[in-house]
Structure 1
């Protein structure tokens, strides 16, 4: 039961965002830098038509 509680608490910390929408080509680099600054311990995949963030 205690292990299950710890597991659930860890899952609460895992966040995955997948957002679709067109990003202007010239803004991709600045968006990537902004997200890396705000979420330094996450994985980021920013493309023209979508971006994903794992925290």
Structure 2
């Protein structure tokens, strides 16, 4: 998934010469998935997109 790849290659905001740690990227991705789940439950999305994510 492109967003996951982006997170794994993104740089930190405070120290732009360092990439995000793997744990930070995983946390952000987990938050993103939770947001998608909430949007599906609130009927803002017709399909549960999390079913398609790895």
Query: Structure 1-normalised TM-score?
Result: 0.28
Higher relative contact order (CA 8 A, sep 6+): 1
Query: Structure 2-normalised TM-score?
Result: 0.28
Q: Give the structure with the larger strand fraction.
A: 1
Q: Give the structure with the larger helix fraction.
A: 2
